[in-house]
Amino acid sequence: MKRIYFAGKFKLHENKNLPLSKRLEQDFRAKLLESSEKLIFAKDNLKLKNGHIYSGPFYCEQASNGDFTSTDCNVVLKAEYEAVSNSDVYFALFNQKFSVGTIVELDWAIEMNKEIVIFYEEEESEHDIKSEYWFAIANALYKSDKVKVFKFNDINRVINIIKKGEIFNEIQGV
């Protein structure tokens, strides 16, 4: 059983009047956890159907005053660094909702010698990969021999691959 950190920008419904759990329902992590409620606040040992453990990120982290926040940079940075550190596998999703934070977390994972799985969304042009993704992926491949890269054009197929867990079982030692 591996602890997996699932990086990527959170996908929120545009209607800000909806409760946060409803706004997060379409995020790929909420689909993996089969509950957007579980995606909101940090919890330990959230098992996925495939037996692996979801180790983060969570939309809200606890601030020093006890409130939950997604805007307190020091709190979020520390929580995400610890979650990457405590994971066995770093999973990065590069799609149209590109996250600069994913690049920072990817660099942490490389420095920590983590197993890394990257899925990037295929372009509908003569070039297979956006330049924004290319630099991050090329850098990861250059710095680590523990990086596996896959392209996709259907997020639901990626979710099904993750749910089966086989992609993580192929990684060293399972």
**How many separate helices (H) and strands (E) can be counted in the chain?**
7, 8
For the chain, list the domains and their CATH numbers.
3-169 (3.40.50.450)
Per residue in 54-80, pLDDT (tens digit) is 999 988 765 555 555 556 667 778 888
Is the pLDDT score of 18 beyond 70? yes
What does the alpha-carbon distance between residue 174 and residue 168 come to, in Å, rounded to a whole number? 8
pLDDT tens digits along 38-54: 998 888 889 998 889 99
Q: Is the dihedral of CA 132, 133, 134, 140 positive or negative?
A: positive
Q: How many CB atoms lie within 10 A of CB 77?
A: 14
**For residues 108 and 126, what is the distance between their CA atoms, to the nearest angstrom?**
32
Q: Taking the alpha carbons of 44, 102, 137, 121 in that order, is the dihedral positive or negative?
A: positive
- Residue 60 DSSP symbol: B
Q: pTM above the 0.85 mark? A: yes
At 116-171, the pLDDT tens digits run 999 988 776 655 666 777 888 899 999 999 999 988 888 898 898 888 877 876 65
